[in-house]
Amino acid sequence: MNKQESDILNTLLLESFVNQRILAEISGHSLGVVNRSLKELMKDEYLDEELRPTMKALTEFRQKMPQRAVILAAGFGMRMVPINTEITKGLLEVNGEPLIERIIKQLHEVGIKEIYVVVGFMKEKYEYLIDEYGVELVVNADYAGKNNLHSMNLVREHLENAYVIPCDIWCDRNPFHRHEMYSWYMVSDLVDNESTVRVNRKMELVTVPENAGGNAMIGICYLIKEDADTVSKRIAVLCKDQKYDGAFWEEALYNKNRMMVAARVVHSSDVVEINTYEQLRELDGNSNHLKTDAIQVICEALAVKPEEVTDITVLKKGMTNRSFLFTCKNKKYIMRIPGEGTDQLINRQQEAEVYHEIDHKNICDDIAYINPQNGYKITEFLEGARTCDPLNEEDVRKCMKRLRDFHELGLKVAHEFDIFGQMEFYETLWDGMPSVYKDYKKTKENVLSLKSYIDAHVGKKVLTHIDAVPDNFLFIEKNGKEEIRLIDWEYAGMQDPHVDVAMFCIYSLYNKHQVDRLIADYFTEGCDKATKIKIYCYIAACGLLWSNWCEYKRNLGVEFGEYSLRQYRYAKDYYRIVQDELKEQTEGESD
């Protein structure tokens, strides 16, 4: 039985036969398709001579009818900036009703009460659904590092005759039914450049080249037993392969260049996927969740109305902050929203003082607004900017010259960045928890022993960036000339400027050969032995500093992978390098 025949049979199971023309109108198929399908259904004994469903049809009808549903609600919803840190997507309200509650009610309307909700981010917010709607919550502990393929792996035993539904869907009409005759995946008639599939003439979902445009993928799916078994096995296999950690669960639906399930096409106005703040605003301009501090700040700072804030796009999540791009009065801006735990790490008053000191010196990005209390910041977007490539020698040379020029301005502020003090401070934020590193105590003792050498060789202290890493050097074209701007001055303060050289090295994960080359790029006149050893000391100290910082963030649930491990290695390796250098220096003097 093909899709068209299934649709015709399903219609006849729900509606008494009158004539072919009415059947065509109800089923949505042409008169020719209806006539061919009726002949095949009679031939296969699904219909009797009076076009009534047979016992064979009724049996298959019952075998394929929906029994349960899975709602995927574990993710961050990063594209929902600026409200993604305030509310989880499934609880966004449209016309006063949370999205997930509307979905559950629509499932209840067609008799589906066995509902599994996979949660992760803000999982506690969904707990009330257990009592109010009788759902079962399934917790995905890996929601931060893996995509929803892994959420599906937790419920793959419940996919037989089941609807799979993303939590960020708003359906005007109930998309669920008491009866289904085949597996399908829902797409809309809207063309979407991000889609990976399109509907062909056979109502199959075939893959399209990247950015070629296809049918917008809604994400609702229905799986009958046979297909559910196949999908379940595929999910289990894919989840064992790390390269699928970031994959969507739909990966399990593909068979070469097409999906194994049929297409169900809906009108774009009937089912809306709410991925962004603006999509929510378009659907319900009065939603309470549109009243966010970030938008209010933008409106006050730039003297505009909320509807004038458009093209809101999430930027790459930084180590400390979440930022988003937006357009206002034909001009692009970036707004920074401080991330988890940053109120403990950053003194926003001191940051504001730094920006005041460097203002109008073409050193940093152009600040439109900064709040010294909460750290909200709005900067003008630097069109066409690119970051420094730490593996590109020409880029690095230019950045070191820019850094040296900045240091030689000799700018001053009232506060200092104390490397060893901050190291101890980050450790206090662990709330009494021991380090994850077994030999941390010994490593710390070794690094602290370098302080005396540093203190003996520190020169004049000036305003130092502290976070002078490749990502914070922006190359831009202005008035036909190349400029380099330094951004993100959160940690800046008075310090030995050579700390910035060490910071660039450890963030770039440089080996010793690359470190020495960078030192040579900064000290074009040549670097004396004592200064070079001092920079090695800074690499060890700053490595432990950021390792401690990473341990604090780790306790907040934020992981940095290789970066955190490598910072701890810098602390250990460069302590040994310093010892070797000093020993060699002593032996050379005795000779």
CATH 3.90.550.10 fits 67-273, yes or no: yes
pLDDT at 213: 85
- Paired tokens of 153: 């792996």
Tell me which H or E stretch contains 507: helix 498-507
pLDDT at 319: 44
| Both tokens assigned to 386 | 């690119």
Residue 476 zone, left/alpha/beta (φ > 0; ψ -120 to 50; rest): beta
Contact 329, 314 (CB under 8 A): no
Per-residue pLDDT averaged across 177-192, rounded? 91
Q: What is the pLDDT of residue 473?
A: 96
Mean pLDDT, range 272-288, rounded to an integer: 84
- Which residues, including other chains, have CB under 8 Å from residue 343's CB and lie 6 or more apart? 375
Inform me whether the pLDDT recorded for 74 exceeds 60: yes
The overall average pLDDT reported for the chain is: 90
Packing angle between helix 3-14 and helix 55-64, nearest 10 degrees? Answer: 100
**Average pLDDT of 490-510?**
96
520-536 in b/e form (b: 16+ CB < 10 A) is ebbbeeebeeebbbbbb
Specify the pLDDT at position 584: 85
In the chain, domain spans: 3-63, 67-273, 292-381, 387-590
Rounded Cα gap, residues 203 and 100, in angstroms:
29
Q: Which CATH architecture best describes the domain 387-590?
A: Alpha-Beta Complex (3.90)
The reported pLDDT for the residue numbered 111 is 96
- Is this prediction's pTM over 0.75? no
At residue 202, φ and ψ (nearest 5 deg) are -90, 10
pLDDT at 83 over 80: no
How many other CB atoms are there within 10 angstroms of residue 206's CB atom? 16
Query: Mean pLDDT throughout 287-312?
Result: 88
Task: For 314-345, write each residue's pLDDT tens digit.
Answer: 876 544 557 889 999 999 999 988 766 566 67
| CATH topology (fold) of 3-63 | Arc Repressor Mutant, subunit A (1.10.10)
Please tell me which residue, 532 or 21, carries the higher pLDDT value: 532
Q: Can you tell me which residue has the tokens 């590092």?
A: 145
Q: Do residues 144 and 120 make contact, with C-beta atoms less than 8 angstroms apart?
A: yes
Tell me if 66 sits within 8 A of 159, measured CB to CB: no
Q: Is the pLDDT of residue 265 over 60?
A: yes
In CATH, which superfamily holds the domain spanning 292-381? Phosphorylase Kinase; domain 1 (3.30.200.20)
Say yes or no to pLDDT of 445 above 50: yes
- 157-171 per-position pLDDT tens digit: 999 999 999 999 999
pLDDT (tens digit, 9 = 90+) per residue, 95-150? 999 999 999 999 999 999 999 999 998 899 999 999 999 999 999 998 878 899 99
Helix axes 393-407, 512-522, angle to 10 degrees: 50
- Bigger pLDDT: 501 vs 383: 501
Q: Is the separation of the CB atoms in 448 and 532 below 8 Å?
A: no
- pLDDT of 235: 96
Kindly indicate the confidence band of residue 589, based on its pLDDT and cuts at 50, 70 and 90: low
Return the pLDDT at 339. 67
* Alpha carbon separation from 418 to 67, 486, 500, 545 (Å, rounded): 62, 21, 13, 10
Q: State how beta strands 321-328 and 310-314 pair.
A: antiparallel
Where residue 286 falls among pLDDT bands split at 50, 70, 90?
confident
Identify whether the C-beta of residue 161 lies closer than 8 Å to the C-beta of residue 64: yes
Pairing mode of beta strands 258-266, 254-255: antiparallel
Is 506:531 a contact under the CB 8 Å cutoff?
no
Q: Give 398-416 pLDDT, tens digit per residue.
A: 999 999 999 999 999 999 9
